[in-house]
Amino acid sequence: MTTREPLNKRVPAPAVVPALPDAAAGVPLTWRAARRDDATGLHRLISAAERWDSPDEHTGAEAVSLALTAENLDLVRDAVVGLDAGGTPIAYGTARLSSAPVPVTDGRAVEVALDGVVHPRLRRRGIGTRLLRWQQARGLQILAGSPLPLSAMLTTSTRATNVGDLALYRQEGFRPVRRWLKLDRSLEVPIPHRLAPTRVRVTRLKRGLSEPTRVALNAAFETHWGFAPLERSEWRAAGRLPENAPRLSRVAVAGSGRRSDPRRVVGFVLTETSATVDGTRIGRLGAVGVIPTWRGTGLATTLLTETLRAMRRAGLERVVLDVDAENPSGAVGIYTHLGFREADRAVTYARTF
């Protein structure tokens, strides 16, 4: 096993972050630290970008507000907003440290995720390049503050067809490290029936099962590439987002309830609902997992078919999900068997240290 020096002795962090452009395409720009009261303007910016980049995606206003209160994100130092002459946000970027070292191919790594957006009408003007360089510099400063003797990475993601982003990432020294599939299924197609394994009960996600479901989610994804455990506060805040659909979500509960055999969540499908720009009502499978000791029992298929039927009864027309193309649990095969088909791809790029 390779012994590494601590990151604070190894990562070359700049003393200051680079300046951001003061104009683009004749539009004067000003930059400042992000604030919580930017949520409305940033939601408009993100929505404009999604309409251009990914019409099926829709980030809600509450999700934007939640992102501005995320743990490990210092708005003063880690988030920047670019404003036009009228004070409207036209660009936004963050550099956020993961809550814990995340699993990667060869162990665990300290991750700083770089997330940014530029309004479509001002793209190809150099704003994105300058913003990404600002994010990288801030990300390196964050990594250089860590005493951990681990590998580290700056990460960012985009659709596999976004040639502009891909070219920029390669230019800046990033390389592809993970690929993700967006799968799609019509709910008009027949849904197979699958009985639950013995000793387990499938039910919708109820309030009393929320914390056991968080525990199960962390256990199910503990070794999945890039996964950071969800803390209680983060889980509860995310659970209040209006797009969440607990009545359509399904969890598998095992155990008799006796002290020697307590009830516990051993599998789950967590869902959301939204509408596309053309008004199509769709469901999204936000997380699908089974804890390690219950894998290979057919439980994932049972949970998925129960969820799909609940979505169809609710009048939804399609269901989508994102999955790691290299998922070691065989998830892609399960989804394909249930009628899901690839609709898009995304790629995570990284600079590693």
Say if strands 79-83 and 102-104 run parallel, antiparallel, or are unpaired.
unpaired
Distance separating alpha carbons of residues 175 and 297, to the nearest angstrom: 37
> HSE-up of 202 (CA within 13 Å, CB side)?
24
183-345 — its CATH code?
Answer: 3.40.630.30
Task: Work out the widest C-alpha separation in the chain, in whole angstroms.
Answer: 71
Rounded CA-CA distance 249/269 in Å is 6
Percentage of the chain beyond pLDDT 70 is 98
Residue 316 to residue 247: CA distance in whole angstroms: 13
Token digits of residue 132: 């990404």
- pLDDT tens-digit map of 39-83: 999 999 999 999 888 877 889 999 999 999 998 999 999 999 999
Residue 178: the pLDDT is: 97
Question: How far is 323 from 304, CA to CA, in rounded Å?
Answer: 14
Q: What count of other Cβ atoms lies within 10 Å of the Cβ of residue 345?
A: 14
Is pLDDT of 1 > 50? no
CB burial of residue 321 (10 Å; 0-12, 13-18, 19+):
buried
Which residue in this structure is represented by tokens 């509860």?
236
pLDDT band at 2, cuts 50/70/90? low
Judge if pTM exceeds 0.85.
yes
Mean pLDDT over 326-336 rounds to: 88
The 3-class SS string of 264-298 reads: EEEEEEEEEEEECCCCCEEEEEEEEEECHHHCCCC
Tens-digit pLDDT profile for residues 149-201: 999 999 999 999 999 999 999 999 999 999 999 999 999 999 998 888 888 99
- Quote the pLDDT of residue 120: 95
φ, ψ dihedrals at 283, nearest 5°: -105, 150
**Spans of all domains in the chain:** 7-173, 183-345
Amino acid symbol at 184: D
- Give domain 7-173's CATH architecture: 3-Layer(aba) Sandwich (3.40)
- Cα separation, 169 vs 155, in Å, equals 10
Overall size of the chain counted in residues: 353
